Structures are given as C-alpha cells and as structure tokens.
Structure 1
Amino acid sequence: MSGPTRERPLRADTERTVRTILETAERVLSEDPSASLGQIAAAAGVARTTVHRRFVSREALLDALASHAFRQVEEAIDAGRPETAPPLVSLHQVTANVIQVKSGWRFAISQPQLRDPEAVAAHERIFAKGLMLLERALEAELLRPGTDLAWAQRVYHALIEQAILERAASDMDPDTLAAAVVDTLLHGVGPLKR
C-alpha cells in the first residue's frame, strides 16, 4: 500500500501529524529531491520512527504526497464551480485557485510517474473537469467554433505553468495571474481586431 499504512480513518492528531509530514516533505524535497525520510522527519519535528510508521518507504511517502497534492488541486477546481458558474467566471476562478494550490505543491505535482491509484484517479478527474470547462467555454462562444479542445487544454495548462513560475519569481497575486492566463487563452497576444 502506498499511502499512510492504516486502513481505518485516522484520528485528528494523527491526521495533523501526517499533514505536517506531507507539507514538510514538499518543502524539503523541493530544496533537495534526494532528502531522506530522516531529514524530512527532523524538519517536521517528529521522530524518524513516526515517519516510518506512517509511510513504509520513501516511495510510499512520495505516493502519498502526490495523492494529497492532486486532491488539493481537485478541491481547488471544484471550488471554482466548473459545472455551474458562468464559464468565464469559472475559468477565472478555477485558474486562480489552481495557481494558488499548485504553487504550494510544485515538487509533488511534478513527479514524472504517478504510482498511487488515488493520485492517478485524481489526475484523470482533474483533466476531465478541465476539458468539461473548456467545452462549456466553447458552447458559450468564448472560444472560436471548431477549436481543438485537446490543444486548447494543453495550451491552458502551459499558461498555468508559466503563471506558477512567475508567481514563484515575483509572488504575484493568483487573481492577477489568472486574469493574464484567461486573457491569453481567449484572445492570444496579437493585436485586438476592430
């Protein structure tokens, strides 16, 4: 099993400890991708045995980290109401929320291979929700008729990644970056047509 080693729901104090370990692992591994579980435990202020009791291996910790991060991204998307809010409003809010959340989970989200079934499922749901939002944008005529939505989704993700890099460099507000992403997605960077 790849996540925390218990099957039953975690107690509140245990849940806080796991969350602390995951948040610390994100920070430590962002600075040093080869950091050991012992280094993560020390930075989290917990005993190494505590980390080993919750995660049977470094890979299990990485899997739990990815699963946790993708759940956070999915919650951020859902908070933007992609199915019910007006498409332009939702597109902006989802973008701002995703920039905010992904900025805090860069290491976890950038893992080249997802092994944890929960992380894989969340990743697939995230892509499906993004595609659905672009379909709604197309129906609302925010995108040109005949737009290749798969291409639009890849461009949208690339724009979000650039916004996250900009935020890391300048600590720019997610709403400002979301406005730039949405404007670029919908209007490009060419001159406005009259």
Structure 2
Amino acid sequence: MPTAASGRRRRADAERSIARIVSAARESLSRDPNASIDDIAKAAGVGRMTLYGHFRNRAELVEAALTDALRAGDEVLSAVDLTGDARAALTRLLESSWSLVAESTALLTAAQGTLPPGRIRNLHAAPAERVEELIRRGQDQGVFRTDLPITWLVGVLQFVLHGAAEENRTGRLKPEDTARVVIATVQSILAVPSAEG
C-alpha cells in the first residue's frame, strides 16, 4: 500500500522531471524554434513516454517553455528600479530587458507557429503593462510623446527589442553595442517631437 511519503517522493520526482523538460525546451527552442519533441526529450535526458506523461503535445510544451521564460524575465525586470525620471527608468529597464528578449524571440517564433495569437498576447500581458505604465508616467512628466496611441508605442518598443535580438543573433549587431543602440532608438522614438517652426 503506497504511503504518504512515497506519494510525496513521486510528486517531487515528477516536478524535477517537468523542470528538466521545460528547461531543455527553453534551451532547445531558443536555439531552434523548430526543435522536435525528440530533440527536447534527448536534451532533457528523458524518453518520449516520460515527456508525453507530462505534456500531451508540442503546443503544451512550447507554452510551458515560453511561460517559464517570461516568469524568469519578470523576476529580473521586477527588480529594476523604475522610480524617478521616466527616461532614466526606461534606460534601466531596456538595459535589463534586451537580453531577455533575445532568448524569448526564438521561443516566440515557436509559439507563433503553435499557439493561438490571443494566448500569446495573454502571456505577454504583464511585461507589456509594465512598459505601458512607464510610458504613461513619462507622458505625465512631459518627457514622452503623447501624439501617438500608447499601445502603438509599446508595440514599437517590442518590435525594436525583437529586431535587436535578431540583429544580434545574425552578428550584424555586436552584443556589447546592443543595449546602447536599443536605448538610443527607443528614447528617440518616445521623445517629445520638437514644435514645427
């Protein structure tokens, strides 16, 4: 007859196995958005049956990997000081976030081929809200433009980050230059336009 201790041990083993699989999925999909279930199972050191015992299909696994990457990113970004001048706060946020976006770009590509667009938007809601609140504060401080919709500005910022990640991946932009380029680009986009004379 199974004991409570053996049940807890099995749950702990299952949780470790799931964590290994999700970690392997993040790494594999970050290298190749088309990584197969077999590739991920091999990287995790488990068999297909074990993987399918935790994730019914590739879509569930891709979502778990993306969710885990976003959770880890949120932990990093939550520690960024966003107080004070919105321009300085945005610089600190961008310095911390561009490398996170580099990892999630390939995961996002995998997700876009697997998950419904609404689900991807929901998973990205928290990071988008953080940026939206910061831009709104900058608008209130008079340092960010108010002539364009805030949702558009958040979207453009995300496009810049994903573009930088792609430029970085292909070697057209050096890692040591990326944060500076991203910050200069985003700050110029958000700057209050000069009055026409």
TM range (shorter): 0.7 to 0.9
Structure 1 partner of 2:45: 45
Structure 1 runs, 4 residues or longer, greater than 6 Å off: 116-119
Structure 1 partner of 2:134: 133
1:74 aligns with 2:74: yes
**CA shift in 2, pair 1:178/1:39, >3 Å:** closer
Indicate the structure (1 or 2) with the bigger Cα radius of gyration. Answer: 2
Matches within 5 A, 1:161-176: 161-170=162-171, 172-173=175-176, 176=177
Counterpart-to-counterpart distance in 1, 2:97 and 2:120: 16
Larger mean CA deviation between 110-119 and 143-152 belongs to 110-119
Point out where structure 1 has 5 or more consecutive residues left out of the alignment: 1-9
**CA shift in 2, pair 1:63/1:116, >3 Å:** farther
- Alpha-carbon contact 1:66-1:114 (below 8 Å) kept: no
1:102 counterpart letter in structure 2: V
2:79 counterpart letter in structure 1: A
Aligned residues: 175
Greater fraction of residues in helix: 2
- Alpha-carbon contact 1:77-1:97 (below 8 Å) kept: yes
Point out where structure 2 has 5 or more consecutive residues left out of the alignment: 1-10
Counterpart-to-counterpart distance in 1, 2:61 and 2:117: 10
1:65 counterpart letter in structure 2: A
Structure 2 partner of 1:4: none
Counterpart-to-counterpart distance in 2, 1:44 and 1:119: 25
- Alpha-carbon contact 1:67-1:122 (below 8 Å) kept: yes
Percent same amino acid among aligned pairs?
A: 21
Displacement of 1:91: 1.0
- Alpha-carbon contact 2:62-2:107 (below 8 Å) kept: yes
**CA shift in 2, pair 1:25/1:165, >3 Å:** same
Matches within 5 A, 1:8-157: 11=12, 14-29=14-29, 30-31=31-32, 33=34, 35=36, 37-82=37-82, 84-110=83-109, 111-112=111-112, 114=115, 121-157=122-158
- Alpha-carbon contact 2:33-2:107 (below 8 Å) kept: no
Structure 2 partner of 1:182: 183
Task: Give the TM-score of the pair, scaled to structure 2.
Answer: 0.71
**CA shift in 2, pair 1:109/1:17, >3 Å:** same
**CA shift in 2, pair 1:150/1:106, >3 Å:** closer
Displacement of 1:140: 2.8
Structure 2 partner of 1:7: none
Query: What's the secondary structure of 2:136's corresponding residue?
Result: helix
After superposition, the CA RMSD in angstroms is 3.0
CA deviation string 1:56-115 (max 9, x = no partner): 222221221222122233333322244x35422321222222211122233322322645
Query: What's the secondary structure of 1:105's corresponding residue?
Result: helix
1:107 counterpart letter in structure 2: A
2:104 counterpart letter in structure 1: W
- Alpha-carbon contact 1:63-1:116 (below 8 Å) kept: no
Counterpart-to-counterpart distance in 2, 1:101 and 1:52: 28
Displacement of 1:139: 2.3
Query: What's the secondary structure of 2:26's corresponding residue?
Result: helix
**CA shift in 2, pair 1:183/1:103, >3 Å:** same
Displacement of 1:39: 2.8
2:153 counterpart letter in structure 1: A
